[in-house]
Amino acid sequence: MARIISNINVNSDEFKKRYQFNKKKVEEIEAVRAELSKGGPPKAHEVNQKRRKLFCRERIEKVIDKNSPFLEIAPYAGYDMYNNDAPSGGIVTGIGKISGKDVMIIANDQTVKGGTYYPMTIKKHIRAQTIAIQNNLHCLYLVDSGGVFLPMQDEVYPDKEHFGNFFYNQAVMSSMGLLQVAVVTGLGTAGGAYVPSMCDQVIMVKNQSAIFIGGPPLVKAATGEEIDAENLGGADVHTRISGVADYLANNEEEALKKAREIFAHLPKQEKFKLDRIAPQEPYYDTDEIYGIIPEDLSIPFDIREIIARIVDASEFEEFKPLYGQTLVTGFARLGGYLVGIIGNNGIIFPESSQKAAHFIELCSLRKVPLIFLQNITGFIIGKKYEHQGMAKDGAKWITAVSTTNVPKITVIVGNSYGAGNYAMAGRGYNPRFLWMWPNAKIAVMGPKQAAEVLSSVKIAQLEREGKQLSQEEIEAIQKPIIEEYEKKSTAFYSSARLWDDGIIDPKKTRDYLILALEIALNKKIEDVKFGIFRM
């Protein structure tokens, strides 16, 4: 492989300006994340401490292996939604090592409305289970939830990917041989009772946790029976009388230790043997990424400059470097692992589509995972390209990216507009993980284009009514559209709604990718079976 030759001038004013801008963006997302990590309001924490209960993030720190990473999923869920009442969506999810095993941890945040499920809490819980299913991960549920957030029951209870889907997933995962463990540290009420009940092994904490289909108030209302939580469905009841739980712990620490023991006695996971050599740090400083991404994403930049600051030794074996040049494809090493990389260098043409499909076929047959680096405004339009069959070439790419057998990991580094998002393994194409950079944008089209399309419809309507619009009037129509689009295409907007798995510091992209890649290897890469490629 050959080292990428960088053409970046780190002493240029442009570089310095961009560096400052992106650095600030990163500080901004980190400040938000730090705030979200605090969970619910101080008052809720006080109550929690009074009950001598740990905060859900403390539980995670205690249960995972010392001095090991925690790959948090969707920390920005629910941001700027529900009056900011559900920081991180009221649930903390992520992958950690427990007794050496890769485990998806799903932890209710009891300081956020008693750990109840908002729509985004539901989405995040299911996203975590989906990652576990796709990557063969065991699950640990740290249960401390009052069930669904009743005021929004219509958005969390009935639909396919709502509350009920949790238990379905647990049953499916158990059948796949993935261990489901619950540590009940608070309440598991009603539907919440089934999270632990559906687990293989359940630990309860004495005088602290309780599981019941109906809590004491409901029991009293329905039957007149007066009983407290501990006697109705406490740890003693379930470990001695009902058998709903398996282990009785005297306190949370003991319960978390027990969970570690359970994972310790699990057979070791065999990972898929992906070709690997000794890892090397990139030749170019990853810090320089800040100086490359333009403030205004309509200004193009060479994606190779980004690749050079992510991959081992900055070495890249480019495939078809002279053909379909708006797409960059090639092989590289990440942490020593062989990967295929697809990045955008402009709008998609029929040639670049064919090249992408070809390259995905190569990687699929060779079982080489794919990394997508999105900076895409869309497919080329116009008579020439429609006649050339842009749509069928795009279809080839979509077929390849949909039916490939290899793990895909996507990072939106710049724009993610239109069908380009799809072809480049957007959320709908089941990449194992998808992250955004702080300045990245995601929407069906750019704000300006959207405003022009929408305003032209309006203008045509008015013209039919015989009205002529001045430039000012047109701008007045366009302005709110642009503002609306700009607001709804930011990384924060996307991440709050789980269109991605988080906003990440561009400098840490390499870490994220290698960690994710090793997680993806828990699932064997099967032989490829593509669909029809329209010719």
Residues that bind another protein (CB under 8 A): 67-72, 75, 97, 102, 276-279, 335-336, 502, 504-505, 508, 511-512, 514-515, 518
Q: Which candidate, 443, 451, 445, 358, places its Cα nearest to that of 400? A: 358
Alpha helix ranges (H) inside 135-225: 153-156, 164-175, 191-197, 216-223
Question: Which CB, 331 or 512, lies closer to another protein?
Answer: 512
Q: Which candidate, 185, 161, 406, places its Cα nearest to that of 275? A: 406
CB of 72 to another protein, least distance (A): 6
Identify whether the C-beta of residue 505 lies closer than 8 Å to the C-beta of residue 26.
yes
Identify whether the C-beta of residue 129 lies closer than 8 Å to the C-beta of residue 173.
yes
CB of 513 to another protein, least distance (A): 10
Whose tokens are 């039957």? That residue is 223
Token digits of residue 501? 């798995």
CB of 31 to another protein, least distance (A): 15
Question: Which CB, 91 or 244, lies closer to another protein?
Answer: 91
Identify whether the C-beta of residue 355 lies closer than 8 Å to the C-beta of residue 323.
yes
At residue 222, what is the residue type? A
Question: Which CB, 67 or 175, lies closer to another protein?
Answer: 67
Compute the distance between CA of residue 416 and CA of residue 27 in angstroms, rounded to an integer: 22
Question: Which CB, 76 or 82, lies closer to another protein?
Answer: 76
CB of 67 to another protein, least distance (A): 5
CB of 276 to another protein, least distance (A): 6
CB of 518 to another protein, least distance (A): 5
**Euclidean distance between the first and the last CA atom of the chain, given in angstroms as a whole number:** 33
Whose tokens are 């890892």? That residue is 279
Q: Which candidate, 265, 271, 308, places its Cα nearest to that of 287? A: 308
Query: Which residues face 141 on adjacent strands?
Result: 106, 182
Identify whether the C-beta of residue 122 lies closer than 8 Å to the C-beta of residue 153.
no
Question: Which CB, 17 or 276, lies closer to another protein?
Answer: 276
Backbone angles phi, psi at 175, to 5 degrees: -70, -20
CB of 511 to another protein, least distance (A): 7
CB of 345 to another protein, least distance (A): 28
Question: Which CB, 140 or 356, lies closer to another protein?
Answer: 140
CB of 354 to another protein, least distance (A): 34
Question: Which CB, 103 or 380, lies closer to another protein?
Answer: 103
Compute the distance between CA of residue 105 and CA of residue 103 in angstroms, rounded to an integer: 6
Question: Which CB, 342 or 514, lies closer to another protein?
Answer: 514
* CA contacts within 13 A on the Cβ side of 123: 19
Q: Which candidate, 405, 399, 402, 407, places its Cα nearest to that of 429? A: 402
CB of 38 to another protein, least distance (A): 14
283 C-beta neighbours (distance < 10 Å), count: 15
CB of 273 to another protein, least distance (A): 8
CB of 502 to another protein, least distance (A): 7
Question: Which CB, 93 or 170, lies closer to another protein?
Answer: 93
Question: Which CB, 109 or 518, lies closer to another protein?
Answer: 518
| Coil vs helix vs strand at 294 | coil
Question: Which CB, 96 or 446, lies closer to another protein?
Answer: 96
- Residue 448's H or E segment, with its range, is helix 447-464
Q: Which candidate, 523, 507, 521, 505, places its Cα nearest to that of 72? A: 505
Backbone angles phi, psi at 522, to 5 degrees: -65, -25
278 C-beta neighbours (distance < 10 Å), count: 8
